[in-house]
């Protein structure tokens, strides 16, 4: 069983809490991407990033000096988004970190697939970004089915806690694994309504729940009750587990 999650845009450098244990699986491909990005002008990169001048300037400077093999932070600590805050990797114990290293995979436009303790450096490249390259016009085209093949070689059961932007790099090419999407929402007029921030919080809590309880089968996910969520038999299907708040 594997758990897939999205990265976060906001990143940090943390060389003190934990050290990375290995380099990312697709680092050679990452370096190929980096070389292409370095060949682009500031304006071309800003268009790819769809970012403000402040963010574009920061990341342009990062690109010029970037070395993806030095001064690295474990991926699970490098991302600072809401999902990662609620996952709270800093408070987990060694046995829980071991569980995450085995089961958790972070999908990344820049790195492809990351294990939690792969060493990374701050970057900006979303999975849906265009690349301004004649051979691979988009990040999706660059990775094609490589990430799906890699993940599906590892497992036949995937717990999908990633956004659609990221998860479809796997689901688009799946013809063998059971992929269970977890949906978190509130019941309004007989329909389950998802809210962005709450969903991110719940996804982080679900990862932590799985690590703390050493979950080895999808059935155990139904016991999740953090943030006042509970599993709904009525709204769930075989491939979509629905958790309703309240």
Q: pLDDT per residue over 31-73, tens digit each?
A: 999 999 999 999 999 999 999 999 999 999 999 999 999 999 9
Determine contact, residues 138/129, Cβ cutoff 8 Å.
yes
Query: What is the structure's pLDDT at 218?
Result: 97
pLDDT band at 16 (very low <50, low <70, confident <90, very high): confident
CA pseudo-torsion sign 179, 180, 183, 188:
positive
Q: pTM, whole model, 2 decimals?
A: 0.96
What would the pLDDT profile of 197-241 be if each residue is shown by its tens digit? Answer: 999 999 999 999 999 999 999 999 999 999 999 999 999 999 999
**Contacts (Cβ under 8 Å, ≥6 apart) of 81:** 7, 8, 9, 10, 200
For the chain, give every domain's residue range: 2-179
């Amino acid at each position: 069983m594997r758990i897939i999650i999205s990265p976060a845009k906001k990143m940090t450098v943390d060389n003190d809490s934990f050290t990375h244990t290995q380099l990312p699986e697709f680092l050679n491909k990452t370096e190929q991407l980096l070389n292409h990005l370095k060949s682009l002008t500031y304006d071309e990169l800003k268009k790819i990033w769809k970012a403000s001048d402040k963010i574009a300037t920061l990341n342009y400077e990062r690109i010029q000096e970037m070395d993806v093999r030095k001064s690295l932070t474990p991926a699970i600590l490098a991302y600072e988004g809401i999902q990662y805050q609620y996952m709270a990797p800093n408070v987990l114990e060694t046995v829980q970190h071991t569980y995450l290293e085995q089961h958790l995979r972070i999908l990344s436009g820049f790195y492809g697939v990351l294990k939690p303790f792969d060493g990374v450096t701050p970057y900006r490249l979303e999975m849906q970004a265009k690349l301004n390259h004649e051979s691979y016009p988009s990040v999706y085209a660059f990775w094609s089915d490589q990430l799906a093949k890699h993940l599906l070689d590892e497992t036949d059961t995937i717990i999908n806690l990633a956004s659609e932007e990221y998860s479809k790099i796997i689901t688009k090419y799946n013809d063998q694994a059971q992929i269970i999407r977890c949906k978190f929402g509130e019941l309004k007029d007989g329909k389950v309504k998802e809210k962005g921030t709450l969903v991110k919080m719940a996804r982080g809590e679900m990862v932590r729940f799985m690590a703390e309880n050493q979950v080895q089968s999808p059935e155990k996910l139904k016991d999740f009750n953090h943030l006042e969520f509970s599993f709904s038999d009525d709204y769930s299907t075989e491939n979509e587990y629905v958790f309703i708040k309240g």
